Every structure is written in structure tokens, then in C-alpha cells.
Structure 1
Amino acid sequence: MTRLLLATRNAKKLDELRRILDAEGVAGLEVVGLGDVEPFEEAPETEPTFEGNALAKARDAVAATGLAAVADDSGLTVAALNDMPGVLSARWAGRHGDDEANLRLVLDQLTDVPDDRRDAAFVCAAALVTPDGSETVVRGRWPGILTREPRGENGFGYDPIFVPEGERRTSAELDSAEKDALSHRGRALRALLPHLRALTEE
């Protein structure tokens, strides 16, 4: 069994990667998170792109643990806000991880934007770095529109105000399997599958 470090403490992200690997029949990988390894100093996310942040996190994780590591950076891009909050999505309101404040600030900034101009997309860059120095970076994009009020409980971040293209429900109203099949993170992680399968063959 090959250990694969997903460089996160977010249990929902860990569960998502495990579900995707199971659904795709990828065996032989034990997915662990940052809570399962010796603590190490994590560099702040200071890169201007999702890809840069994901790669930096994965490189740090490999250097500290010696395990192959996957890291992601994701966020919401809003057309009417010049594709912001982007890489600042988790701290848009000024304090990292305050989902409610971030969501409310985006809604406030879009108060005067008509419904037909509320286009947005969730973007996820995922990086796989291995101890031999191999690096792979992929991107997943999930287009949609933003509502005027939050709906749904099954999600986090901006999920309650994001209606995916072709849907009437928000991301937070989808069940986990539906979200895995459609989401930006699911798309990015599936793009990594050939490389993750290769880890089990070494």
C-alpha cells in the first residue's frame, strides 16, 4: 500500500479524494492528511495563481514527509468582480476561513449586478509532487451563476450561493456524489488519476 499525502486538514477534501479513488477503482493508495503526519512548518499561500499555491504546498509536503503529495488551491472567480476573489477566496473578508463573512461580502458587492451578469466559476488547481522530483499540475473549472441568498447545507465556502451551469440547485443543495461528479475539485482530481494510478505501479 502506497501512502499518498493530501496536504490538507480539511476532512471533507480527504473524504472527496478517497471517494473518487474508490469510484474510479484505484486501489493500493492510502490517502492520509496533514493530521496523520509529523507537523511541519507550512509556507503561507502567497503565490498569485491557484497553480502556484498548489505546487508550493505540495513541494513543502514532500520535502517534510518524503511522501508523494497532492495539494490543491481553489476559489471562486466572479466575472463582475474581474475574476476576484480568486486566490483570495478564503480570506476575502479579511480573516482566513470565515466562510459566512466571505460569502456575505461577495453578495454585498454584487447587490446591483443583474441576474444575467452574475456569472462565476469555481476553479481548482491540483498539484502532485513525488519524492523523485516529478511534478504535475492540473486545473478543474466549474462554471455557474451566483444567487442573491444562500441555499442548502451540504457544502462549505461559497457553495450556498453557487448554482452550477445546467442546475437549479446550489452546490450546497447537491448530495456528495453529485458534487464529486461535477465539482472543480472533482474535475481536477480526476485529471490527476493517471498519475495517481502510476504511483501504485512503482
Structure 2
Amino acid sequence: MMSSASSDSTIDIDQENIIKLNVGGELFMTYRSTIMKSDATHLINLVKQTSTRHEIYIDRSSELFQDIMLYIRENAILVKDLKKLQALLKEAIFYNIKSMIDKVQAAIIEAEELQEKQDFKPKVVLKDIRQMYDTFQSSTITKPKYKIIEEKDGVSQDYYLIDIVYIKDINRCFDHGKAYCSCSSSPKLVLIPKNAI
């Protein structure tokens, strides 16, 4: 069983090894050895110059310092947000942590690539069927050519759109309850397979 005197001396030794870092007004405590074993050159220099009895004040972001300490302790970067990674890179440069700078730069490239994929939206064009129908019916307008590709069970078939026709539905109109109602017509595409031409 450890005596009270020896346990008190262990606490004193631990307290001698603990350093206090006041970063942007927030207090962080860690073992001197944690900093000294890291490659955080700026922090190592500050720790060397300061007694453990004194607080080291650093005028930087306390929020980002949590990520700095996580890296020093665990060699891990958990930040995924691009803006925060860019800010974290500035902090890693300030503290002169070379290995962290490389890892944060790699994480920034990865985050930028991910953002580009998320930002990419295919261009969508809405074609008015009635306007297309009018174009096909007109004798004065040069008719555009449309091609439709149908894919089914891994097989694709190309079609040319040669016309659009409106066919009145035989069934009763939902709005007026009449068969062959004028509002019940719907456009149908007249297609011809490309290989048939």
C-alpha cells in the first residue's frame, strides 16, 4: 500500500510535469512530455522558455487548438469541413507542426474533391411538348432532330423522334366526366428506331 507521503510526492511530480496553456482565453492542460515528444516546434520552444508554474498565453483560436492537441496526442485529424481545414492549416503552420501541415493539406485536397462532386449538377433542360408539337406541325420552321435512347435490361435502343401527336383518351375525363373530352388528350411521341433508317 502506498503511503500518504509517497502519494503526495507523486501528485507534486505530476503537477511539476503539467503545463497550462491559455489559448485565446481558454485553459488547456497537458503533460510537458506530450508537447516535447511532438514535432510542434513553436510549442516546444514556448514550453522550454517557461516554468511549469506559469501559464503560457497564446493569442490564437481555442477551438482550433483542440484539434491541434488532438493531433499532438493521437496523430489524428478528424475535421472534414473544408473551411475549418483551411483554418486548421494556418494553425498548424503557426505552431510549425510539419507532419500535421502535410496531413491537413492532403485532407483539404480530399475535401475539395468531395465538394466538387457534391456541387456538380447536370444541366437540365425542360422542353415544352406543346412547343415541340407546334414545331413539328409547322411547314415554315426547320424541324429540329431529336434522338431518344431507351435502355432496358442493359440493352440500349436509339430512336429518332419524327413527330408528336395528341390523342384523346377514350376513358372518361376526371374533371368533366366525359369520354373524349378535349382536356383529356395527351401527347404521344412517334419514334422510329435508328437502325430502321
TM range (shorter): under 0.3
Q: Which has the larger radius of gyration?
A: 2
Structure-2-length-normalised TM-score: 0.17
Higher relative contact order (CA 8 A, sep 6+): 1
